[in-house]
Structure 1
Amino acid sequence: MTSPSVVPVTLAEIARLAGVGRAAVSNWRRRHSTFPTRIGGTDVSPYFSLADVEKWLRDNRKLGKVASREWLWPRFDALGDRDKSGRAIALAGRLLAGGEDSGIGLDGVGSDAVRAAVELGRREDRSGVFTFLLQRWLDRYVRQIAITPEPLADLMADLALWVCELAADDADKGIVTVLDPACGTGHLLASAATAVPAALNRPAALVGCDIDPVLFALCEVRLTLLPRSGSMSPKPVITPGDSLRSDPLIGAQADLVLCNPPSNERDWGYEHLAADIRWVHGTPPRTEPELAWVQHCLARLRPGGGAVLLLPPAVAARKAGRRLRGSLLRTGALRAVVALPPGTAAPHSLSLHVWVLRRPAVGETPTGPGELLLVDAAARFPRSEAREDGPEWSELRAFVRSVVGVTDDGAAEGAKNGRGGDADAATWAATVPIIDLLDDEVDLTPGRHITASPGDAGARVTDSWSEVGALLEGLQAEKACLTALDFTSGTADQPNTTVGELLRAGALTLRSGRHQSEAVVSEPPHDRIPLLSLSDLLLDGSPSGWAHPDDAVVVEAGDVVVVGIAREFSAWVHEGPPIAVGPQIHALRADPHVLDRWFLAGSLKAPANARHAGTHASSSSRIDVRRLQVRRLTLAEQQRYSEAFRHLAAFERLADRLGTVARKLGQDLGDELAAGRLAYGE
């Protein structure tokens, strides 16, 4: 049994600490009898003592030039608990910021971890060490903690500055107060700390609140360690508490409010808050907690202040919230709705909406401008473009800033003059009169009110027709190759072998993808590679996650990928850059002197093979990859079949792409015909 004071590390972690690949560590373990003995785990997934590993690496001069921060994380991760490790990181940050030990009870491992972090931070960069630990912690518990990606937080800060109107000589001597009532680890407030001084040349007072005590503690330390924009910058004020049920910041008034509130929470306090004074636009229904957050943010604004919230798309259209949405429109509180492309933030499969609100300034007409700005960035940057490595944030941010009229120096001409001059604005954005939205549904989904201009549709149709022609030519070429297949001279009685037999003979290696709960992240750090999961294959086949290559099963160019589930069973030769694969996805690497990889992939992919190797229990049943069959042929014979399998794979790819383009072309033509912009038979 492992001692509580021992920090365990895996082979992948040792590789990262030594700055080498995992294969090198396995080689050291095999070749050197002095390599540390495992202290836990199994022979396949062993654990070693961090102290023993560090000593062995030093003694054998294999420590490498890895940043010393890398040695900190295993100590915190060894605490084995989200809250405990988070509190330890917060304590380390508080001590680095010059604070005192708050008395958090930590065992020997936790105390050693905090001590090591503080010592390193004082030698190097205090803020950098804390930021490193915080990011590793967020990566480790990415499925449990919802964050606002930094580029999205910057965009939300831009929109808040666009919509607000700050008095030049307010009572706070030029200080701009920024509030986040559900601050989490402080991503939005950190962005505002940079955006406000840059745009207004005024310091920002950061105020936040969060119900989770660990997130509150981390946010407080993070903002304290931020560089001050000037001597007048006040210290951040972060308070623990439930902003909806019992707001600890009651009475607070902010110039800007930024919020990514928890969504789909049914137990948000509906029974206890029925007569709350914040519900100026009506009591939010039990099923509309997001509209409770919207009104809370408006209640915390000063006159002329602006609020920006990140909300699920259903909030714009749910029947239960139509009365409140109508009131927000009639009073001019809601100024813009921006539909973001999928993948911008969790949940990554949804096109989240950004709502931009404003409280009328003193003496301003409470009905607002009488129109709502709708921006369909989801259509401007479709999912197919966003999924490869996340949305192109620089283009997305530039597009939204141009639509609302924010210039590079932070000026917000669009606040008074409407949309900016971006060429895409006429296609993907519209200012819709409020009266046109106040119907039985009050649906504020941008895509339902924005119609592409005739000129833009014509260009898209022209491009689609050109691509359809090119795809048809490609299909004709592949058809010519495949028609050479002879259905009369084949030999059906050739013996078969199985993947299992090929593995035992050494002609193949098999690696099966696994869960990456520690490695999946929402943003692509420099040391991560794309992660392909089964859900990605069910959706559109593009990787949606990221994984560290040392912790994952990596598919290289030339490997054969097999999906081991009946409803998505397939096999193909991977031809792109390295990717990691998740559960039920397998990687086969063939000995090129024995097996042709295209012949192998084509043989494995045969539907009869899936019927032979499947369990037949349901469409979600698993395929036993080792039972998949391959004909016994010489390498020369395999290569003849390989050419046919190549053409067949190309034929299928072209046919799939043609189906996608043809459907989109049909939709565009249908829209144009229905609108009367196309004539036929004249």
Structure 2
Amino acid sequence: MKNTVTLTPSDIAQMAGVGLSTVSNWRSRHDDFPGPVSGSGSSRRFDADAVRAWLKLHGKKIQELSADSVLWNLMSQWRPLTSVEEAAGMVSAFLVWRAVSDPTSPRFAGNLSEAAQWPALFQHSDDEDLAAAVQTSVREYQEKREDKYRTVFEDLLAQLDGLVGRPDGTTANALKFTLNTINSFKAEELGQIYMAFQDRVTQSLHRGYDDYSTSQDLIDVLVAVSKDIPGSVHDPAVGSGRLLFAVGNHGDDRKHLTGQEMLPNVYRQALQHALVSGQNNVHLELGDVFSTDYFDPSCAQVVVVDPPYAMSYRDHDQLALDHRLPYGTPPRSTIDTAWLQLAIWYLGSNGRAFVIQPSGSSYMRGSADIRANMLKSGTIEAVVSLPAGVAGRTKIPVDLWVLARPGEVADPDKVLLIDRTDQEQLDPEAIAKTLREWRTEGKEPAEKHAGIFTVSDILEKESILTPQRWIAYQDDSVSLESVIADLEALHETTRVLDTVTLDPVALVPAPHTPTLGSVSDLVKAGSVKVLRNRSRRSDADEAENGLPVIDGAWIHGKSGVQQKVDPESLTGEPLITEPGDVVLQNTGGLAARVDDEGGQLVLSPTLHVLRLQDDRFLPEYLAEMLVSSVNRRQAMGAAIQRVRLEDLQIASLSMNDQQQLVTQFDTVRQLQAAAQELLDAASTARDALVDGVTSGVIKIK
């Protein structure tokens, strides 16, 4: 059986240093591009050697794939035998096994017999009992290890039990390929490779590991805000350990890293992480922290928690008796606020806890008493609202709570609130600077989206700690200067209209009525091809390196951050635009726009792509004609209006006439934007005058 490394289109793009849309074009326009060897739709996979040969033949640059990409593609060897999640677990375990069993590795266990060491496995390269040989070696490791790390390979042993002795030899083939691939890495880089692979698994699967791993964005924030606080670190919901170890690697006097996890398989993953990365100061425990706590109060100067969100607890009545929750029993619907109280319990003197919470914890009525008690006791130093999606495993907005032991916050009578929800590019260091200056110097933030608010005022407002709400109060304050500024802005905006000149158009009666053709007629004539999305996004999620998704805001020309999705996470062939495509929305209002750049995903069933097949129409002209008033009047439907795409009428004009019209359309659109800007400025100035007079700030002299 040939062991072939296969690549996804994303891998090919990485190898060639191009975008996904370029790879799509290669596949469609080059008959000699290698065909897929497995998969279907957007899940097709291509022979790596064949792709390299094609790139070389066509003079394309070739760069080696990263180690995590190599391992991800290695998993294709296991997919006929087990699930993707289990395959990822096996590959991870083999990385750790090499780290502890290879004499050249800095993590080598040292007490293994020669027969149980990594090199000995290659003596079985031609045998069908290779899986059994791995099990024998791992069991020797377990017998000689007397601490908790003896359990790290239990899942691997169980998986191999189900694969040993398969008559077709597929297990031995996959094992050989896995061992050879992992053996090609440098032993001293196994820890870095392990972490990169875990990140790849998290980003690609969006389930499994991701449920118990903190996103890299949140890790960056928590590392930044905690690194200047010396001392040991504790995480009572440690998950896979990524957050604990990242914080533990930044900061002074990190003598002990401790954590507890309730799920056995996730706990073993955290142990694997500690082993392969050489974290010798780690103490992890397995168990439900709400029923059995293995750690003492005041055990750490830094507590970090990114707990499961909106989790209910089966023995909720027992929480009322928990002495670690002095500020109140959380509601039955969610124990989110229990994690806040636990974090304080573990804090030593002058330490700080950094807890991620769903935004509901800051305003839900069921938690109001807990918030009030925490505020009165002086344990809440700051709350920072973070952008939606930063948590990775969920799109709900989350907040960072900064806590201290009672009375040890920067100012027991005040709370720092920071709103970062509209920040496109999160700046962890800026957040850390604002928090540090408030904690150490009592310095109030100069930034616009932050403020200091009194505990008494917050208590009067049902103890709501939502930063956006309080900062909105602060921003709504009226001053003489702000009213003058709004009026001056209106004056400046009136000048915008002078920058746009609409040249007189020489209009004459048309000699005849232009020929009208429907979209259906244009398709039959071969001038236009209509493309619709056929993929499904049940398992799709945002991906930083994915393609932007066209939405209603983009169609209407509004600015904003577009969601990005990895086409490989879609089921079925994705619809990716090409330069010059006209994207049409025909439901809930008629709208069209030309995609000048291409390379965007169309996922909505209400959007269609019109791809020109000849030079009969300018795409800009076609887009304008599609949304004419005549076409808009064809909308039907009681609740949601819809226009039949096939019935939309287009006037056939010469290319010269089309170009002149497009020029006029551009000018009219500029005037429309300028008029809207003027309207907005006028509305703001009017409100400023009314509010200024009402509040007694201004008087017309």
C-alpha contact (below 8 Å) 1:266/1:287 kept by paired residues: yes
Equivalence for 2:593: 572
Give, in whole Å, the separation in 2 of the partners of 1:574 and 1:249. 58
C-alpha contact (below 8 Å) 2:555/2:583 kept by paired residues: no
**In the alignment, residue 530 of structure 1 is paired with which amino acid?**
P
Equivalence for 1:138: 202
Please report how far the alpha carbon of residue 602 of structure 1 lies from its aligned counterpart in structure 2 after TM superposition: 0.7
Mark the CA change 1:193 to 1:459 in structure 2 (over 3 Å): closer, same or farther. farther
Equivalence for 2:92: 90
1:286 aligns with 2:305: no
Does the residue aligned with 2:100 lie in a helix, a strand or coil?
A: coil
Please report how far the alpha carbon of residue 333 of structure 1 lies from its aligned counterpart in structure 2 after TM superposition: 1.4
Please report how far the alpha carbon of residue 663 of structure 1 lies from its aligned counterpart in structure 2 after TM superposition: 5.8
Q: Give the alignment of 1:537-548 within 5 angstroms.
A: 542-548=560-566
Mark the CA change 1:543 to 1:634 in structure 2 (over 3 Å): closer, same or farther. same
Provide Cα deviations, 1:282-311, integer angstroms capped at 9, x if missing partner: 212223421111112222223333211122
Please report how far the alpha carbon of residue 281 of structure 1 lies from its aligned counterpart in structure 2 after TM superposition: 1.1
Provide Cα deviations, 1:90-117, integer angstroms capped at 9, x if missing partner: 3133224326544141553864674355
Provide Cα deviations, 1:188-209, integer angstroms capped at 9, x if missing partner: 224312321xxx3x23532233
C-alpha contact (below 8 Å) 1:598/1:645 kept by paired residues: no
Equivalence for 2:219: 153
Mark the CA change 1:128 to 1:345 in structure 2 (over 3 Å): closer, same or farther. same
Give, in whole Å, the separation in 2 of the partners of 1:242 and 1:307. 20
Larger Rg: 2
Mark the CA change 1:73 to 1:287 in structure 2 (over 3 Å): closer, same or farther. same
Does the residue aligned with 1:302 lie in a helix, a strand or coil?
A: strand
More moved, 509-518 vs 65-74: 509-518
Give, in whole Å, the separation in 1 of the partners of 2:394 and 2:679. 25
C-alpha contact (below 8 Å) 2:371/2:463 kept by paired residues: yes
1:417 aligns with 2:448: no
Q: Where does the alignment leave 5 or more consecutive residues of structure 1 unmatched?
A: 167-175, 407-413
C-alpha contact (below 8 Å) 2:217/2:391 kept by paired residues: no
**In the alignment, residue 154 of structure 1 is paired with which amino acid?**
D
1:56 aligns with 2:50: yes
C-alpha contact (below 8 Å) 1:559/1:597 kept by paired residues: yes
Mark the CA change 1:549 to 1:94 in structure 2 (over 3 Å): closer, same or farther. same
Aligned length: 619
Mark the CA change 1:301 to 1:583 in structure 2 (over 3 Å): closer, same or farther. same
Q: Give the alignment of 1:279-678 within 5 angstroms.
A: 279-342=325-388, 344-346=390-392, 352-360=398-406, 369-378=411-420, 383=422, 386=423, 390-393=424-427, 397-398=429-430, 400-406=431-437, 414-419=438-443, 423-424=446-447, 427-439=448-460, 441-450=462-471, 451-452=473-474, 465=487, 468-469=490-491, 471-474=493-496, 481=502, 489=509, 493-512=513-532, 514=535, 520-521=541-542, 524-525=544-545, 528-533=546-551, 542-548=560-566, 553-555=575-577, 558-564=580-586, 566-567=587-588, 569-574=590-595, 579-584=600-605, 585-590=607-612, 593-606=615-628, 608-609=630-631, 612=634, 616=637, 618-619=639-640, 625-655=645-675, 657=677, 672-677=692-697
More moved, 332-341 vs 532-541: 532-541
C-alpha contact (below 8 Å) 1:245/1:273 kept by paired residues: no
Provide Cα deviations, 1:527-559, integer angstroms capped at 9, x if missing partner: x45334458879976234224588864446644
Provide Cα deviations, 1:325-354, integer angstroms capped at 9, x if missing partner: 111111111122223344544588765322
TM-score normalised by L of structure 2: 0.74
Mark the CA change 1:345 to 1:38 in structure 2 (over 3 Å): closer, same or farther. closer
Give, in whole Å, the separation in 1 of the partners of 2:98 and 2:488. 61
**In the alignment, residue 415 of structure 1 is paired with which amino acid?**
R
Give, in whole Å, the separation in 1 of the partners of 2:493 and 2:579. 25
Does the residue aligned with 1:275 lie in a helix, a strand or coil?
A: coil
Provide Cα deviations, 1:255-303, integer angstroms capped at 9, x if missing partner: 2111122222344642343312222112122234211111122222233
C-alpha contact (below 8 Å) 1:339/1:352 kept by paired residues: yes
- The counterpart of 1:66, out of the listed 49, 64, 67, is 64
Mark the CA change 1:152 to 1:117 in structure 2 (over 3 Å): closer, same or farther. same
Give, in whole Å, the separation in 1 of the partners of 2:2 and 2:699. 79
Mark the CA change 1:39 to 1:617 in structure 2 (over 3 Å): closer, same or farther. farther
Q: Where does the alignment leave 5 or more consecutive residues of structure 2 unmatched?
A: 102-137, 139-152, 164-170
Give, in whole Å, the separation in 2 of the partners of 1:143 and 1:661. 46
CA-atom RMSD in angstroms: 4.4
